[in-house]
Amino acid sequence: MNQVKENNTVKVHYTGKLADGRVFDTSEGKKPLEFTLGKGDMIPGFEKGLIDMKVNEKKTIKVSKEEGFGEAREELIQEVPKSQLPEDMNVEEGMSLVSKTPDGQEHNLVVKEIKEESIIVDANHPLAGKDIIFDLEVVEIQA
């Protein structure tokens, strides 16, 4: 019987959860996720968890922060003067912002704190520093 191997394209249903059981992402009610293992499109722990699974097999895996989104990095938390924000921008804690670098790269930021003259933004992935859990079901394996 076919098992998931490196370089296979797979279709997978999944539910991603935090350690406390809160769901952060799922394919439930949607098309299954399709990707090719080994191309770097998915976090390493997700791909490793699928290796040797068969079609219709279900499994729950735990992915450490090292195999997931990495450690939260202090240097990605920055203070930005409000004077650098558009005048009409109404900033709130928890709000998502997109910042463009001079070379055109976009970075997603989350507003962590609002001070009188500045805001604190975090460019870490929201799941950085967290161990996560995935419920997996292999729907299809393409060689």
Protein fold of 74-122: Thrombin, subunit H (2.40.10)
Query: Model pTM?
Result: 0.82
Q: Where are the domains of the chain?
A: 9-70+128-142, 74-122
- Overall size of the chain counted in residues: 143
Of the candidates 120, 74, 127, 130, which has an alpha carbon nearest to the alpha carbon of residue 93?
120
Largest CA distance in the chain: 63
Token pair recorded at residue 131:
């161990």
Q: What is the dihedral of CA 25, 29, 34, 35, to 10 degrees?
A: 0
pLDDT tens per residue, range 88-120: 889 999 999 988 888 988 989 999 999 999 999
Q: What is the mean pLDDT of each run of 10 residues along the chain (143 residues)?
A: 92 97 97 96 97 98 97 95 90 91 90 96 95 98 89
**Residue 100: predicted pLDDT:** 84
**Residue 44: predicted pLDDT:** 96
Domain 9-70+128-142 is of which CATH architecture?
Roll (3.10)
